[in-house]
Amino acid sequence: MKVDMRDAFFDQLVKAAYRDERIVFLTADHGASALKKFEEEMPDRYFNLGIAEQNMMGVAAGLAASGKIVFAYGIAPFVSLRVLEQLTIDIAAMRLPVNVVSVGAGFTYSTDGPTHHGLQDMSAVLTIPNMTVVNSSDPENTRHFVDRVIEAPGPYYIRIEKEKVESLPRADTKINWKEDGFSIIKDSQKRSILVLSTGILIHQLMEWVEELEVELGLKFTLVDSFRVKPLPDKLIKMFQEFNQVIVIEEGYVSGLAAQVLIKAAELNMQPASVELINLPERFYFEYDERPALLSRLKLKERITRICLGKR
């Protein structure tokens, strides 16, 4: 069954808030249907601070410093780029339990133009020390994020989606996905090509790798790294099992791809051929639906060219 990932997150958050009175929710005048229950049943812990994200992060820091577990919610560019100084100094430097809930990864808000595209939010937040970054790909790990940040207090930057999707299949035979921070979505017996991604793009990649196996006669293993920072050591060490690794994401090259290269260097590893597929670094003024924008960027064709040894 398809579930809106915002509903998956906020339904789980409401359940947690019933149990833990420390949980407080802040929003920058942005809503979701599942938030109504929080607002109506716990109004003394739900605050709409208006379109004033910098102020919201200051309030979040103050509440967290007083012992609250804070969730601060808004659209991706506005709770990352607009508030980068507050995230860095007020929250991360103080190691406060503030969970920034960001909706609008990639081209989620495709028809709203560059002001609302989430193509560089993760790149910016990844530069902040002490900040853990997670990126939802299905209802199951989206719900898990709520439990995780309460068990191991933040600061966290949590990217969630507003699309309805089904839970992903998991072929995890060697890992505990909740602890290890990544899931093996498709596990090929012939481990020739590893495709690594994060977020909602995993669902499209499931279709593409199935098609490419038929078209190219190759075998693929597909992995979802929903924890982007710190990137799991265990994931990078898996690279040695493959002849080729393709890292693909719906964002600029300074996101997941950069973390992969940094982590490999930290572990003093020289993995097999690693190819990066990211969106060209430009502003996307094309007002179109997400699938149409991604189609024009020819991501599947770029995977094909790499597999065929072309550039």
CATH number at residue 183: 3.40.50.920
Q: Please tell me the predicted confidence (pLDDT) of residue 160.
A: 93
Question: Contact, 136 vs 226, CB < 8 A?
Answer: yes
- Say yes or no: 102 and 209 in one domain: no
Does some domain include residue 52? yes
Per-residue pLDDT tens for 235-268? 888 888 888 899 999 998 889 988 988 888 887 7
pLDDT value of residue 287: 84
CATH of the domain at 102: 3.40.50.970
Distance CA 133, CA 159 (A): 8
Residues 76 and 9 in one domain: yes
Domain final residue, candidates 138, 165, 192: 165
H or E segment at 250? none
Q: Is the same domain home to 90 and 146?
A: yes
Same domain, 182 and 156: no
208 shares a domain with 269: yes
Ranges of the chain whose pLDDT falls below 50: none
Specify whether 124 is located in the same domain as 206: no
d(CA 41, CA 33): 14
* Total number of domains in the chain: 2
Which residue range is the domain that position 100 belongs to?
Answer: 3-165
Note whether 159 and 184 are same-domain residues: no
CA geometry: angle 1, 118, 23, nearest 5 deg: 65
Total residue count of the chain as it appears in this document: 311
Residue 171 included in any domain:
no
The dihedral over CA atoms of 130, 12, 45, 51, expressed in degrees to the nearest 10, equals: 70
What pLDDT score was predicted for residue 270?
Answer: 65
Both 156 and 184 in one domain: the answer is no
**Residue 170: inside a domain, yes or no?**
no
The domain boundary, picked from 140, 165, 190, lies at 165
